[in-house]
Amino acid sequence: MSVGRICTRVVATAAPDEMVREIARRMSEHDVGTLVVVGGPTEAPLGIVTDRDLVLRCLATNRDPDQTPLREVMTTPVQAVDEHTPIEQAMTRMAHAGVRRLVVTGPGGVLAGLLSLDDVLELVVDEVAIIGQLLAKQAPTLAF
């Protein structure tokens, strides 16, 4: 199965020149903890920013959130995979990069979605539940 099948397709975005306070407001408004930073003529993914980034790289260092542009606190380079990438390959990428989220790109490298570790865990839980149902149906016929 590819990451494009389970990733979140509606992704909140930001521009690198926006100020941290505005980004925090947008996170609150959309009830998310992550925004993908996009830019250029194709609005290609440039980086990613989490609520934790805002706290550690802006607030904890006594920077003014009204005067600190996102480009100074976002995580770069962006860790991205194509939407056709197998989930197993994406998980390996997450593990090697030490991240819990990957930006998912489509044709031309444009933003197509966001894959989180939680998305993968949800898939695994669903698959284990199905296996459990199959085993429960077969249990009366199994001889030990």
Report if residue 57 sits inside a domain: yes
What mean pLDDT comes out for the span 2-9? 94
Percent above pLDDT 70 for the chain? 96
For position 40, which CATH number holds? Answer: 3.10.580.10
Take residue 19 and report the two structure tokens written for it. Answer: 């100020």
Confidence of residue 133 (pLDDT cuts 50, 70, 90): confident
Judge whether residue 9 has pLDDT over 70: yes
Per the structure, the complete domain to which residue 70 belongs is given by 3-139
124 or 116, greater pLDDT: 116
Instruction: Say what the pLDDT of residue 144 is.
Output: 54
Specify the 3-state DSSP secondary structure of 53.
Answer: helix
Backbone angles phi, psi at 3, to 5 degrees: -65, -30
Report if residue 115 sits inside a domain: yes
Instruction: Please count the structural domains in the chain.
Output: 1
Confidence of residue 143 (pLDDT cuts 50, 70, 90): low
Instruction: Say what the pLDDT of residue 140 is.
Output: 65
CA dist list (Å): 117 to 9, 106, 127: 15, 20, 15
- The position carrying tokens 């959309």 is 30
Judge whether residue 134 has pLDDT over 90: no
Instruction: Say what the pLDDT of residue 68 is.
Output: 98
